[in-house]
Amino acid sequence: MNISIFGLGYVGCVSLGCLAQNGHHITGVDVNKFKVGLINKGQPTILEKDIDQIIHKAHKEGKINATTCVDEAINNTEISIICVGTPSSPQGHLDLSYIYRTAEGIGQALREKDSFHIVVIRSTVLPGTNHKVGEIIAENSQKIRGKDFTVISNPEFLREGSAVKDYYHPAVTVIGGDHKEALEKVASIYEQLDAPVEITDIKIAELIKYVNNSFHALKITFANEVGNICKALNIDSHKVMSLFCMDKHLNISSTYFKPGYAYGGSCLPKDLKGLVTLGHDNYLTTPVLSSISPSNENQKKRAYTIVENSGKKNVCMIGLSFKEGTDDLRYSPSVDLSETLIGKGYHLTIFDKNVQLSKLIGANEAYINDKLPHLSELLSNDLGQAINDADVIIVNHKNFDPTPYISLLEKKTKVIDLVRVDQLKELPNYEGLCW
């Protein structure tokens, strides 16, 4: 396949070499004549393991060349991959001017081209950039997106120092677009890689790298704060984190990575507070650990705000314990939400088949008596009646089966889903907490 790559910096140079090594014919494009000259001499524009040998071999085989001429690159290729830089401003905003200037140049070059052209954004960009790039190309080419060209988002996940290895061994290749044939063609570029290709929505493809890298930053900072506490206690931090990473069921897994309501229960709040206090007692600052609980409280506030915005005061809450399948009410975020609603003058009815006042004992009983002393007046054993009498329904347990109650639910002012019950999403009055 004939492919042009715009931007011969880190991502562009690695992509150029690796794609050529996979058998494609690549034209590099850059405004910097020095970089273009290096490629045309078979030399890389960056210092990176193995890329010098790859570029040299590809040049020797006639699979790569470079130019400063956009028209030449567009006319001789069927796919153009944008790899130009997107530097960050001091305020955290991205400078997308290089992306937009590249889009203008591609658009102008496409004016004289009759065949369909695929533009791929490989640079790290904000959601909405793909759409804007499409508008710029359409304006400058006087052609129609979807008919004459399309724009695909294909974020890169390359680390400096291991970029070639990362290119050939990705966890997943992400491709977002709105043109079926173009998506299939871009996906075929990566068919030699031993990794799944995930075709998804454009904005998801644009956002995923920010999520990935923010989590990587969080992991490093989390480990460092744990390390600081360990050092103060004369504990081997690397042995602690090595043991931590052995748990592939909860710690290093997809468990808990599902946006939803706040955490609760007798363990997470208590143990987090204990670790933060341990750091404080040893004169340590732990900003990440210390911010977890406030962020969790913010999620509870978001839930209340959605209820408040409904404008109605009759509320039915389905699920009171901190998660389904238990009657444990200790530090349940639903108990906190119930307490807030009652304090604000709402008429609240609660249904939870596992919560029976006569069976609550010990700390569990003491906790709920302190938080909701009149719980007996709030509990209902008839879910259908509770739904029927309310204007707003809050669902906080994943095991809720709405099937028998759909006709009732669709008449409500609002059905608020805190845990993502998929069957509810088709309701016209549905609102998810953070989706």
pLDDT in tens, 93-116: 889 999 999 999 999 999 999 999
Last residue of some domain: 165, 183, 200? 200
Contact call for residues 314 and 392 (beta carbons, < 8 A): yes
pLDDT tens profile 260-273:
999 999 899 999 99
Mean predicted confidence (pLDDT) in 183-195: 94
The verdict on 207 and 191 lying in the same domain is no
User: Does residue 259 belong to any structural domain of this protein?
Assistant: no
* CA-based nearest residue to 396, from 304, 308, 309, 314: 304
User: Does residue 325 belong to any structural domain of this protein?
Assistant: yes
User: Does residue 43 belong to any structural domain of this protein?
Assistant: yes
User: Does residue 131 belong to any structural domain of this protein?
Assistant: yes
User: Does residue 280 belong to any structural domain of this protein?
Assistant: no
The verdict on 340 and 402 lying in the same domain is yes
Residue 89 has pLDDT above 90, yes or no: no
Total domains present in the chain: 3
Could you give the 3-state DSSP secondary structure of residue 20? helix
The verdict on 97 and 126 lying in the same domain is yes
Last residue of some domain: 158, 177, 200? 200
Strands 430-432 and 173-176 come out as unpaired
For residue 56, give the amino acid letter: H
Task: State the Cα torsion 201-202-208-211 to the nearest 10°.
Answer: -100
The verdict on 181 and 220 lying in the same domain is no
The verdict on 183 and 236 lying in the same domain is no
Residue 180 has pLDDT above 90, yes or no: yes
The verdict on 21 and 147 lying in the same domain is yes
pLDDT attached to residue 383: 97
Domain CATH for 394: 3.40.50.720
The verdict on 196 and 242 lying in the same domain is no
Question: Rounded distance, CA 131 to CA 325, Å?
Answer: 45
Mean of pLDDT over the chain: 95
pLDDT attached to residue 78: 98
User: Does residue 388 belong to any structural domain of this protein?
Assistant: yes
pLDDT tens profile 374-394:
899 999 999 999 999 999 999
The verdict on 172 and 208 lying in the same domain is no
User: Does residue 109 belong to any structural domain of this protein?
Assistant: yes
- Known catalytic membership, residue 69: no
Question: Rounded distance, CA 329 to CA 321, Å?
Answer: 5
Q: Is the pTM of this model over 0.85?
A: yes
Please give the backbone phi and psi of residue 392, each rounded to the nearest 5 degrees, phi first. -125, 130
The verdict on 376 and 360 lying in the same domain is yes
Domain span at 55: 2-200
The verdict on 90 and 105 lying in the same domain is yes
Q: Which of 69, 245, 267, 434 is catalytic?
A: 267
User: Does residue 182 belong to any structural domain of this protein?
Assistant: yes
Q: Which residue has the tokens 């998929």?
A: 422
Last residue of some domain: 158, 175, 200? 200
